[in-house]
């Protein structure tokens, strides 16, 4: 029986390992002390993927995995500072998608999950300390998410499920702001939250929507804004809040070709808009303090 030389055996082993997962690349740079990074590209069904991890500082933690049929996708994690945590997952036939977490500061936590997505992107930027950002995309096609956090103790959360050509953006400057976007079974739909200040709270929920948009702007402190859009087509909602402790809610259900806009300048104002039907327009403006209003169409 003919035996293999050590060199031939090594070549055969390398070929057998390579056939399990093809053309994947992982790049890792660590500068500092106590940093930890982990890459998982071992699944035999993944191909042509890239993971890049850079850690500059101390005690940062970076986790990245590409599994179960993921192909032609990219994960990038950049950490500068101390004790930041980044976690990114791409799985279940995710293809031509990208995930980026960029952290500058201390004790920030960022997580992105892309499951069965195609040509989609998840971007998360965190500057300062103790911010939390979580992006989840499931079954999306050509959809994008972006969370920007500058300050401390902000929370930005985006969840997209079965979204097509849909976008979700959250920008937070300050501290203790919370922004939540939930998009389910949406097409050509957009959501944008801008928060500048302290302890503002904004939620946008969009379900079974087409060509629908929602925008919430908050400048000040302890403002609350909520937009709920369900089964809507070519419909828009806008909330502007400048001041403190203002509260605005817009609910659009079964609406088409409709617009609702609420502007509050001052403090302790409250307004609620409810829309159904086609071709409805509701515009509310509150300036001062302690005003209360409601529009139902």
Question: Cα-flanking dihedrals φ and ψ of residue 9, to 5°?
Answer: -65, -40
pLDDT(189) > 90: yes
Q: What is the pLDDT of residue 22?
A: 87
Beta bridge partners of 288: 266
Taking each continuous run of H as one helix and of E as one strand, the counts in the chain are 1, 24
For 176-186, the pLDDT digits (tens) are 999 999 999 99
CA-based nearest residue to 23, from 90, 70, 64: 70
pLDDT(9) > 70: no
CA-based nearest residue to 61, from 122, 115, 107: 107
CB 70 within 8 A of CB 98: no
pLDDT(12) > 60: no
pLDDT(17) > 50: no
3-state secondary structure (DSSP) of residue 6: helix
Beta bridge partners of 112: 88, 135
3-state secondary structure (DSSP) of residue 267: strand
For 236-289, the pLDDT digits (tens) are 999 999 999 999 999 999 999 999 999 999 999 999 999 999 999 999 999 999
Q: What is the pLDDT of residue 195?
A: 98
For 86-100, the pLDDT digits (tens) are 999 999 999 999 999
pLDDT(19) > 60: no
The model carries a pTM of 0.93
For 198-233, the pLDDT digits (tens) are 999 999 999 999 999 999 999 999 999 999 999 999
For 31-82, the pLDDT digits (tens) are 999 999 999 999 999 999 999 999 999 999 999 999 999 999 999 999 999 9
Mean pLDDT for the chain overall: 94
Please report which confidence band the pLDDT of residue 11 belongs to, taking 50, 70 and 90 as the band edges. very low
3-state secondary structure (DSSP) of residue 193: strand
Q: What is the pLDDT of residue 20?
A: 57
Mean pLDDT of 139-160: 98
Percent of the chain predicted with pLDDT > 90: 93
């Amino acid at each position: 029986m003919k035996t293999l030389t050590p060199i031939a055996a090594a070549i055969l082993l390398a070929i057998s390992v390579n056939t399990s997962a093809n053309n994947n690349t992982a790049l890792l740079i660590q500068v500092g002390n106590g940093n930890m990074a982990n890459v998982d590209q071992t699944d035999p069904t993944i191909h042509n993927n890239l993971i890049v991890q850079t850690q500059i500082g101390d005690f940062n933690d970076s986790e990245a995995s590409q599994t179960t049929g993921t192909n032609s996708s990219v994960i990038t994690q950049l950490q500068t500072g101390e004790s930041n945590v980044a976690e990114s997952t791409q799985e279940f036939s995710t293809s031509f998608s990208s995930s980026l977490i960029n952290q500058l500061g201390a004790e920030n936590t960022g997580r992105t999950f892309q499951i069965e997505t195609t040509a989609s992107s998840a971007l998360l930027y965190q500057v300062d300390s103790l911010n939390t950002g979580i992006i989840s995309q499931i079954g999306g096609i050509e959809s994008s998410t972006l969370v920007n956090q500058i300050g401390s103790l902000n929370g930005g959360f985006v969840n997209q499920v079965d979204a097509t050509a849909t976008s979700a953006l959250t920008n937070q400057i300050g501290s203790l702001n919370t922004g939540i976007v939930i998009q389910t079974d949406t097409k050509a739909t957009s959501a944008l939250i801008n928060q500048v200040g302290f302890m503002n709270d904004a939620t946008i929920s969009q379900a079974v929507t087409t060509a629908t948009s929602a925008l919430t702007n908050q400048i000040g402190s302890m403002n609350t804004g909520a937009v709920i859009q369900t089964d809507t087509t070519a419909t828009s909602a806008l909330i502007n809040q400048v001041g403190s402790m203002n509260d605005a809610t817009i609910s659009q259900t079964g609406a088409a070709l409709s617009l609702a806009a609420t502007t509050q300048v001052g403090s302790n104002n409250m307004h609620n808009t409810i829309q159904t039907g086609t071709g409805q327009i509701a515009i509310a403006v509150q300036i001062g303090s302690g005003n209360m209003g409601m529009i139902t169409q």
